[in-house]
Amino acid sequence: MIELFLKYEFMRNALIAAVLAGVTCGIIGTYVVIKRIVFLSGGIPHATFGGIGLGYLLGINPILTAIPFSVLSAFTIGAIHKKAKVNEDTAIGIVWAVGMALGVIFIGLSHTPASDLIGYLFGDIQTVQGSTLFMMLILDIIILISVFLFHREFLIVAFDEEFSTVVGVPSKSMYFLLLGLIALGVVVLIKAVGIILVIALLTIPATISRKFTSDIKKLMFISTFAGVTLTIIGLWLSYLFDLASGATIVLVLGIAFVIFSFLSR
């Protein structure tokens, strides 16, 4: 297994991508699971499809256009929810569909062959380029620094939003910041498992880890470890049996979830 990763550059890149994705799983996934915003973490990547389409239309790296699009989608969901007093899940549904629709239009206009899109929809960790890795690294660093600085606020807001306001947490700003970080995390994960499967990486490692600890720091570490390990196993199996990498990673996550559910009963 180790030789395989050392031998080919694309496998080395994939390995680095798996580690970077794992960090996002651990940190962002933990917030997604404890704040119960799983639907949100499914909606943002789908809406981000608009950004991927825009990248093709403009002829630049779609991951680059995915970043502002993802963040904007997250903020729009937050704004619809907070300002228009619409339920969060309704807001997510709206943005989810509109973002995807934009993506379809942009891609139609850019005459992109459908085969190019499969990688973004279902992930293609084995084709990650150095420039994309660099962007993933930057996004991970932004996530880590933000969480280091604002973990107290995020925790109070996630636990009890009203109380957070009462004790003086700028809860609205923190809610939007958290949404923004989830959006960045989504972009990190798109290359690994694709838009449709991001939700698996954001939920499964953190859910497995919860069975081992009820300490949030440990939860983040264990989730990161679980995310990295399971992604690498998936990557390795997909190479071995020549299967789609994103889907194999998700299946490995799913199987791990089932195993740990039975073990901890």
Partner 1 sequence: MGREIVSLKDLYVYFNNTVSLGDINLSIKQNTILGIIGPNGGGKTTLLRVILGLIKPDKGEIRVFGKTPEEGRKFIGYLPQYTIFDHSFPLNVFEVVLMGRYRGIFKDYSKEDKAAVINALKTVSMLEFKDRQIGRLSGGQLQRVFIARAIVREPKLLLLDEPTASIDPEMQSAFYDMLLKLKEKMAVVLITHDVGAVSVYVDEIACLNRRLFYHGPKEEGLEKIEEMYRCPIDLISHGVPHRVLRGH
Instruction: Tell me which residues touch partner 1 (CB under 8 A).
Output: 34, 36, 149-150, 152-153, 155-156, 158-160, 162-170, 210, 213-216, 219
CB of 159 to partner 1, least distance (A): 6
Q: Supply 142's token pair.
A: 């932004």
CB of 54 to partner 1, least distance (A): 34
Cβ 14 to partner 1, closest distance in Å?
Answer: 31
**Residue 20 vs 156, nearer CB to partner 1:** 156
CB 38 within 8 A of CB 244: no
Least distance from partner 1 to the Cβ atom of residue 250, Å: 24
Residue with Cβ nearer partner 1 (154 or 236): 154
Q: Which is nearer to partner 1, 12 or 210 (CB)?
A: 210
172 class by beta-carbon count within 10 Å (0-12 exposed, 13-18 middle, 19+ buried): middle
Q: Give the 3-state secondary structure of residue 212.
A: coil
Amino acid at 102: L
Nearest to partner 1 of 1, 149 (CB atom): 149
Structure tokens at 154: 């995020």
Long-range CB contacts (within 8 A, 24+) of 79-83: 82/172, 82/175
Among residues 8 and 218, whose Cβ is nearest to partner 1? 218
Cβ pair 207, 33 in contact under 8 A: yes
Distance CA 260, CA 177 (A): 32
Name the token pair of 79. 């704004």
From residue 211, give the alpha-carbon distance in Å to each of 155, 205, 265. Answer: 19, 11, 10
Q: How far is the CB of 153 from partner 1 (least distance, A)?
A: 7
Minimum Å gap between C-beta 41 and partner 1 is 16
**CB nearer partner 1, residue 177 or residue 232:** 177
